[in-house]
């Protein structure tokens, strides 16, 4: 399972979904789905835009969690 840490990263920086969408150019619905961890797929361009905006690495944004 892939866990998305967008909500944690946004919380640390006190960012709102609408602000992230506006500043990155990523669709608001996409940001919302990532925030609530309901997204089933993500474009690489979206990951790049979020990492650039948040100043983080892909590994900070996503984590592989082995469900056993």
pTM here is 0.93
> 32-41, pLDDT tens digit by residue?
999 999 999 9
- Spatial separation of the C-alpha atoms in residues 7 and 15, rounded to whole Å: 9
- What band does 67 get if pLDDT is binned at 50, 70 and 90? confident
- Spatial separation of the C-alpha atoms in residues 65 and 27, rounded to whole Å: 26
- Quick check: 64 and 4 in contact, CB under 8 A? no
């Amino acid at each position: 399972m892939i866990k998305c840490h967008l909500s944690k990263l946004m919380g640390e920086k006190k960012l709102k979904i609408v602000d992230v969408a506006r500043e990155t150019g990523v669709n608001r619905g996409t940001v919302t789905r990532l925030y609530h961890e309901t997204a089933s797929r993500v474009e690489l361009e979206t990951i790049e835009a979020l990492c650039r905006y948040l100043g983080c690495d892909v590994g900070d944004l996503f984590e592989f969690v082995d469900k056993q």
